[in-house]
Amino acid sequence: MNSEIKVCQNCKQNFQIEPADFDFYKKINVPPPTHCPDCRQRRRYAWRNERVLYRRNCDLCQKSIVTIYSPNKPFKVYCPNCWWGDGWDATSYARDFDFSRPFFPQWQEMQLEVPRIALLSKNSVNSEYTNHSSDNKNCYLCFGLFESENVLYSTNTFNGARDSADCYWLSQGNDLMYESINCSKCYNCQYSILLRDCTNCSYCYDCRGASNCFLSVNLRNKQYVFLNEQLSKEAYEKRVAEFSAQGGSASGGKLGSHEARQQLYNQFLEIMREKAIHKFAVIDRSVQVSGNEISSSKNCRHVFDAEKTEDSTYCLVCPDVKDSMDSYHFGFSCSLIYECHALVRDNNTFFTHLSYDNAFISYCDSCHNSENLFGCVGMRKKKYCIFNKQYTPEEYKELRAKIIAHMRTAGEYGEFFPVQLSPFGYNETQGQIYMPMTKEEAMTKGFKWEELVPGTFGKGTLVMSELPDDIKDAPETITKEALTCTKCAKNYNIVVPELQLLRRLNLPIPRLCPECRYLRRIGLRPPRKLWHRRCMKQGCVNEFETPYAPERKEKIYCEACYNAEVV
């Protein structure tokens, strides 16, 4: 079959379906999509409230809980202990399917009644303010966090981070990391991006096997490098010491100083954007792939943040995934997944949200450890259920086929849940981070909007101009003050573990609130989009797909030219 051009039923733009895509749709017996890839992704984004947290009471035990559902949401919300406990049974909400009505309105009626889990955090200690996380200890305001300890304000942190703050995507063990992005197996690194196996590096970009390096880029197995100049150990330590001394340095002061750190940060951004050589995409040990941040993968198209991923297309944040398409934030042994969000260890799962350890389920929400479910909500350890009602295997198979035929006639089957069914306002979700819209735009397109997004303004107890410039001058009482973000004017606090870590790392009190710091990190990563470009190395004619837009300043090289210059 040849590729086919279709018109998106949402944005009315043309999009292309490739022959391999048709093969996948045929394999799982679904019709081709009616929305373009971007609109499909926006629809999935709208179901992920990752980091907007509220206080409300558990509707079962009545205790005050932290949750991703605002108090005005029309759901029963249970704390994790109650939701996973035996005090309720999702099959009590069972109902028959009415063939005189469309599928989605009936499904929504059940969705509004079945209790929802406050947030997804399992097997953790003193980590109440974390979501999509497990096996953590003493972590605060972290999201997508696993097997970590003493970590603050960080996102997508895997395989054991320790004593770190304000990071994005740390993997395979990292300790003492601060404001670092896409790093693995690193120790004591600050304000750095794309580090692998590095120690004691600050303000560095794209370095591997480096130690004791400062304001440098594109290093391989180097130590004692300052502004990409190789120095002796003594000379390097002297140069770095100048930044810690009182005044007189290129940075304008000591490392504990906010003013000095701000100048260093700006200098780092300038070096990274104008002097570093950027590979067209971060792709390692992979073949026949397109996208960015891909490792140990093969036969993938338009995937981002993928590791050990095979035969997959239009997937984002997808470690250990096979034979999947159009899904977001899922993995750890997933296969045959289509139009899903937030799955772990699932297979043969389609059009499903926030469900772990399942097989052969479709159009489900918050179902776990189950198989052969269709149109269910909140099920645990169940089989052969439709709309939360139990059937024999034969009855299930027959009824499921009839419902799918009914949905096909209504034009429902083959599409992810409509945005109107999302439990969240668009401004609460990752959609507002990666594909932002105004309230008017969102409402016009059928998305919800939450008016009660948390945040206080005008309640600051300390004039920011009076905040001590150096961390050594910050008093213990700073943790009792309400600070005011210098960018968005929202009030925020410094928590005790944060102050302790800042002192340990000789870092000043941040002037931005945690959310603005998060948005700044996201802004330093290339977008999840691709442009067709040519290598910028003079004389090279190689072309590629890259997440760097043509108007950006960075020097973008093909793999061969990048390897010749850097590796």
Query: Residue 28 falls within a domain, yes or no?
Result: yes
Is beta strand 389-390 parallel, antiparallel or unpaired with respect to 383-386? antiparallel
Token pair for 29: 């017996």
**CA distances for 554 relative to 78, 180, 278, 284, 551, angstroms:** 48, 19, 7, 20, 9
Question: What is the Cα–Cα distance from 378 to 392, expressed in whole angstroms?
Answer: 20
What are the pLDDT digits (tens) for 437-481?
Answer: 999 999 999 999 999 999 999 999 999 999 999 999 999 999 999
**Do residues 268 and 237 share a domain?**
yes
Give the end of a domain, one of 248, 279, 310: 279
Does residue 360 lie within any of the structural domains?
Answer: yes
Q: Is 193 exposed, middle or buried (0-12, 13-18, 19+ CB in 10 A)?
A: buried
**DSSP code of residue 146:** B
List 152's β-bridge partners, or say none.
140, 165
The contacts of residue 460 (CB under 8 Å, 6+ apart) are: 481, 482, 483, 484, 491
**Do residues 127 and 256 share a domain?**
yes
CA distance 266 to 253: 14
Token pair recorded at residue 332: 């750890």
In a domain, residue 291? The reply is yes
pLDDT value, residue 206? 98
398 and 413 inside one domain: yes
Both 217 and 339 in a single domain? no
The pLDDT, as a whole number, for residue 253 is 55
199 lies in a domain?
A: yes
310 and 228, same structural domain?
A: no
Structure tokens at 201: 């590096």
Q: Based on the domain organization, do 257 and 331 belong to the same domain?
A: no
pLDDT at position 245: 57
Q: Is 478 inside any structural domain?
A: no
Residue 244: what pLDDT? 60
The residue written with tokens 């749709």 in the block is 25
**Are residues 90 and 76 in contact, defined by beta-carbon separation less than 8 angstroms?**
no
Are residues 251 and 311 located together in one domain of the fold? no
Let me know the angle formed at the C-alpha of 303 by 302 and 306, rounded to the nearest 5 degrees: 160
Best CA proximity match to 191, nearest among 249, 261, 281, 292: 261
Among 419, 451, 478, the domain boundary falls at 419
Residue 284: CB atoms within 10 A of its CB come to 12
Query: 207 and 318 share a domain?
Result: no
How much is the pLDDT for 160?
82
Comparing CA positions, the residue from 521, 515, 522 lying closest to residue 179 is 521
Please state the separation of Cα 21 from the chain's center in Å: 25
Residue 288 tokens, joined: 């026949």
In a domain, 260, yes or no: yes
The domain of 375 spans 283-419
- Please state, in angstroms and rounded to a whole number, the distance separating the CA atoms of residues 194 and 292: 12
pLDDT (tens, 9 = 90+) of the chain, 567 residues, equals 678 999 999 999 999 999 999 999 999 999 999 999 999 999 999 999 999 999 999 999 999 999 999 999 999 999 999 999 999 999 999 999 999 999 999 999 999 999 999 998 888 899 999 999 989 999 999 999 999 999 999 999 988 899 999 999 999 889 999 999 999 999 999 999 999 999 999 999 999 999 999 999 999 999 999 999 999 999 999 998 886 654 434 444 588 999 999 999 999 999 999 999 999 999 999 999 999 999 999 999 999 999 999 999 999 999 999 999 999 999 999 999 999 999 999 999 999 999 999 999 999 999 999 999 999 999 999 999 999 999 999 999 999 999 999 999 999 999 999 999 999 999 999 999 999 999 999 999 999 999 999 999 999 999 999 999 999 999 999 999 999 999 999 999 999 999 999 999 999 999 999 999 999 999 999 999 999 999 999 999 999 999 999 999 999 999 999 999 997
Nearest to residue 282, comparing CAs of 300, 305, 298?
Answer: 305
Residue 310 lies in a domain: yes
Residue that has been written with the tokens 């944060």 in this structure: 498
- Residues in Cβ contact with 2 at an 8 Å cutoff, skipping those fewer than 6 apart: 19
Residue 384 has a pLDDT of 98
The answer to whether residues 147 and 296 belong to one domain is: no
Q: How much is the pLDDT for 2?
A: 79
Residue 155 three-state SS:
strand
| DSSP code at position 275 | T
pLDDT at position 177 is: 98
Model-level pTM?
A: 0.94
Query: Where among 233, 264, 279 does a domain terminate?
Result: 279
SS3 content of the chain, % helix, strand, coil (to 5): 25, 35, 40
Are residues 414 and 372 part of one domain? yes
268, 300: one domain: no
CB proximity list for 60: less than 8 A, separation 6 or greater = 76, 78, 79, 82, 87, 88, 115
Same domain, 328 and 273: no
Exposed/middle/buried for residue 527 (C-beta within 10 Å: 0-12, 13-18, 19+): middle
Quote the pLDDT of residue 474.
95
Measured CA to CA, the distance from residue 565 to residue 567 in angstroms comes to 6
Give the number of domains in the chain.
Answer: 4
Q: Which two tokens stand for residue 539?
A: 């004389």
Q: Is residue 475 part of a domain?
A: no
